[in-house]
A and B are shown apart, each in its own frame.
Chain A
Amino acid sequence: MPIDSVVVTGLGLVTPVGVGRETAWSQLLEGRSGLAPVRSFDTSRHSVSLGGEVKEEIAPELRRLPASIGRATRLAVTAAREALDDAGFGAAWDDDPTVGVAMGTTSGEPGWVEEMDDRWIAGELAGLGGGFLQHYPCHVIAAHLGEELGASGPNVMLPAACAAGNYAVGYAHDALKNGRADVMLAGGADAFSRITYTGFARLGAIAPERCQPFDRHRQGMVPGEGAAILVLERAQDARERGARIYAEVAGYGLSCDAHHMTAAHPDGDGAARAMRQALASAKLEPTEVSYVSAHGTGTPTNDKLETRALQQVFGGRSSSVPISSIKSMIGHTMGAASAIESCISALAIVNGAVPPTINYEEPDPECPLDCIPNDAREMSVDVVMNNAYAFGGNKASVILRRYSG
């Protein structure tokens, strides 16, 4: 193991099934769903109402920050505080230039555009005030984390839509390898929003009752919200300070379909390329992957094309490598999704178990996969490939490996 490998030493999670890594992990292993009728806005004019919100009763700490600070930022700060504590860094740093932040998002703080639009329609746009510019542009999520946590190193926002969490982990990995920072907080955050929900509803993409990735009768995805932060460091630093190491970030790959804004390439082209690049950068063979954390949104098209991409990369092993989609339980948390999935993947490595794909009833001949149906599985997990795909054709795969240094 080279001494400059990048490792995960802290996790923070805010999800529709619970806040905190222990709660979220146990809920997911039990196959609990966090999907419920949407509360945060009126869905009476939609034909669907299912969503993955982080309900107030499970996340009272979200009220600690003022409401003018956007919801995605509040989700992110909550996750970051847990991750810092988990990594043993205490509450915050004191303006430390060796600590950086890389965050992903799909929409940033759409609540502020909604505020603008409500005022616009009411003829009260002049009352918008300075809050819009102060709290809307999506980089405020990373900036607020930097301010709140005293991290004055590199600070970037990577709005690569639904693959953004993986982009952030990749960016942080490179920043550490190149000595740009000694600690990086990497992750993703997105808030439930009328805009996002309306868009997916208009595309006919939202499942009416439940999310069933890879099932023959799957009816769609379910928009969700959440945040996750991973504390990343170089292995040597982590060992020297006696930190607990969850896993190593072994590699990542990015690609682009350059095919369609919202639909994946029919052969799974870009997705396969991202996976191959990730394996190459980790110097691993497909046979060494123990578990795949699927993008697995539950839409008829995604799951079929994701399977084709897996078949390209894994060949005959595609039907037997264990793969699951926690989106069956928490919905699609957008830019947070792959960051949450990376946290869960790290927990899978240390806990020797993987979460299930729930609501799985009938195999789909187009998705011949071992999708860990309905019940979690105890198994040794050495290498996880975490896949994430996005609008714009952005594809990102991250590989986590058991740290044995």
Chain B
Amino acid sequence: MEPVVITGRGALSPLGNAAQTAVAVAEGQVAYGPIEDEVLGRLDRSGDPEALRTRMAGRVEYNPREVFPGRNFRPVDRTGQLAILAAEGALEGVEVAEEDRRGAFIGLVLGTMFGSVHTISAFDRRGLEAGPKYVKPLDFANSVINAAAGQAAIWLGLTGTNSTVTGGAAAGVLALAQATQLIRDGRAHALLAGGSEELSYEGLVGFEQAGLLSSGGRVRPFDRDRDGTVLGEGSALLLLESQGAATLRGARPLGRVLGHGSAFDTSRGRDPERAASALERAIRVALKDAGSPVDTINAVFTGACGLPGDVAEAKALAAVFGDAVPVTGTASNLGCCLGAGGAFQALGLLHAFEGGRLPALGGFERAPTEVSSLDWCREARTVDCRRGVLTATSFDGVVAAVVLERAGG
């Protein structure tokens, strides 16, 4: 079984690139805020202002003309553009000979929840309003959920294994897990892995009408009085390689992926006990896979983002770690980035490996009544972080965990 090392990282969030985002999160900066109607752009066209009341969200501001100089970015939708920008960051300084790229050296495993539901809806609405002969072929090409992965492959010449994986908000962690397994099994040498998710009007409407958006406009992971989440957006990708491939090209590892685990809660979040036991199982599988006893873990980066499922996540963490391991995350700062969330958690953990502080669980004040014994990161703190766990709970039952270790053990 090939050991899997992390040799690159790239991201784009409202707080900047991978390094800027990790530092800003550790400092407690918040990436979301009030969004103007014109930014969402399509509120009037729905003819129904009641459909979306919230104006709180995280949005990456960038000018495609500036970030894609001299290239035609128009065929690529927002989810794809975000993925490309993260991939460019992760591949920065990676010198792979053209023939190696053509020899399928690098591939991509992308997690996403929606792909681009905006592209799909816009395509359909144009067909309804203007007639089916006036729909845009480019939109149709991007209507498939693997469009972002395909576009990034075209943009960067990534002819290796290309996979899109989803399990709702657990997609980012699932993508890291799938890429790890493909490399371990010798099916790939180098894979970009993580997630991409765009903020869309359609996504916001879906979340608001499901009653999942915070009325107070604040993500408060685990808090007793949490009242929902705030949607964010962005993309983050790690470059994972077999240790052999990385050594061969003289790459300096940032860390290692030691193990992964996933499971499913057949109550799909309705029963917090079953949800917790599913995540507990996923974490224990990942720890065993990593050969890492509980007492070797120095931090947990959770995906908890102010939703009802936070309780199950807290229960699972309490069952595995008790109050011995600091629990933090990135959603207080970035909002709920859905399929990209797990990859941002990974960036936070890598930052902690490098001596950065564990971010505070911003907005967390009181523990949920169901769980008391967790070491909540109420404040940012410095720890000697050698190994950490990423956890993810989708609100539809899919749960996953990954164990990372810092370079040099």
Contacts and interface: CB of A to CB of B under 8 A. Distances in A.
A120 B46 contact: yes
A133 B336 CA distance: 15
Interface in A95-140: 95, 97, 100-101, 105-108, 110, 113-114, 116-118, 120-121, 123-126, 128-130, 132-134, 136-140
A270 B133 contact: no
B215 interface: no
A200 B141 CA distance: 10
B123 A199 contact: yes
A199 B143 contact: yes
Interface in A135-184: 136-140, 142-143, 146-147, 150-161, 167, 171, 174, 177-178, 180
Contacts of A143: 167-168, 264, 268, 396-398
Given A143-B264, A156-B262, A393-B150, A133 B124 contact: no
Contacts of A35: none
Contacts of B281: 97, 152
Given A113-B121, A161-B145, A394 B398 contact: no
A236 interface: no
A254 B51 CA distance: 42
Contact of A129 (B115, B209, B285): B209
A281 B145 CA distance: 27
Interface residues of B, number: 83
A155 B206 contact: no
Contacts of B129: 121
Contact of A130 (B165, B209, B274): B209
A94 to B, nearest CB: 9
Nearest to B145: A159
Interface in B193-223: 202, 205-207, 209-212
A22 to B, nearest CB: 30
A201 interface: yes
B355 interface: no
Interface residues of A, number: 82
B266 A195 contact: no
B352 interface: no
Given A97-B263, A125-B205, A392-B144, A260 B154 contact: yes
Contacts of A161: 144-146
B47 interface: yes
Given A101-B264, A255-B161, A139 B207 contact: no
A259 B154 contact: yes
B268 to A, nearest CB: 6
A392 B121 contact: no
A155 B397 contact: yes
B397 A258 contact: no
A202 interface: yes
Given A130-B211, A157-B167, A178-B185, A256 B153 contact: yes
Nearest to A105: B145
A18 B312 CA distance: 43
A212 to B, nearest CB: 23
Contacts of B166: 137-139, 156-159
B335 to A, nearest CB: 16
6 contacts: A137-B166, A138-B115, A154-B262, A159-B144, A177-B185, A261-B141
The 8 closest A-B pairs by CB, nearest first: A392-B150, A199-B140, A256-B162, A159-B145, A125-B51, A155-B264, A123-B47, A126-B50
Interface of A: 45-46, 95, 97, 100-101, 105-108, 110, 113-114, 116-118, 120-121, 123-126, 128-130, 132-134, 136-140, 142-143, 146-147, 150-161, 167, 171, 174, 177-178, 180, 194-195, 198-203, 254-262, 269-270, 273, 277, 281, 390-394
Given A195-B143, A258-B154, 5 more contacts: A114-B124, A120-B48, A126-B50, A130-B210, A150-B266
